[in-house]
Amino acid sequence: MILRFATGLSLTAVAHVAGNLVDTASLLARSVVDGLAVLIWIGLWTPPAAVTGAAIQIIVFTVEHQFNLPLLIFGAVALSLAMLGPGAWSIDARLYGRKRIM
């Protein structure tokens, strides 16, 4: 649950800091990223949302003209969430059951 919260918060922070406040395309991109953050927070479609969020953060990292270590860390956290999958208190676990790899 803490990992989901941190990933969603990092997504919204990256979207709102990296985006231009007046551009319509930026507004659309921020809305998509906010939607991904909400999906991650409630635990619905966690692996695809986390992979998409990590891809967005890595794209923002490569587009920037300076080295930004927190973006790399946020991307790694999102990828780790995608590999772990939904937690016990997520909607995915209620809908599909919790899968454990032994």
Q: Give yes or no for residue 98 having a pLDDT over 60.
A: yes
Asked, for residue 56, whether it belongs to a domain, the answer is yes
Q: Which residues span the domain enclosing 54?
A: 2-96
Give the CA dihedral 24, 29, 33, 34, nearest 10 degrees. 10
Q: What is the DSSP letter of 67?
A: -
> Range with the lowest mean pLDDT among 10-14, 48-52, 71-75, 87-91?
87-91
What six digits make up the tokens of 45? Answer: 């479609």
Distance, in Å, from the CA atom of 13 to the CA atom of 44, rounded to the nearest integer, reads 20
Number of domains making up the chain: 1
Distance, in Å, from the CA atom of 43 to the CA atom of 66, rounded to the nearest integer, reads 33
Asked, for residue 44, whether it belongs to a domain, the answer is yes
Distances (CA, A) of 57 to 40, 46, 89: 15, 16, 26
Asked, for residue 102, whether it belongs to a domain, the answer is no
What pTM was computed for the model? 0.76
Asked, for residue 20, whether it belongs to a domain, the answer is yes
Asked, for residue 32, whether it belongs to a domain, the answer is yes
Asked, for residue 101, whether it belongs to a domain, the answer is no
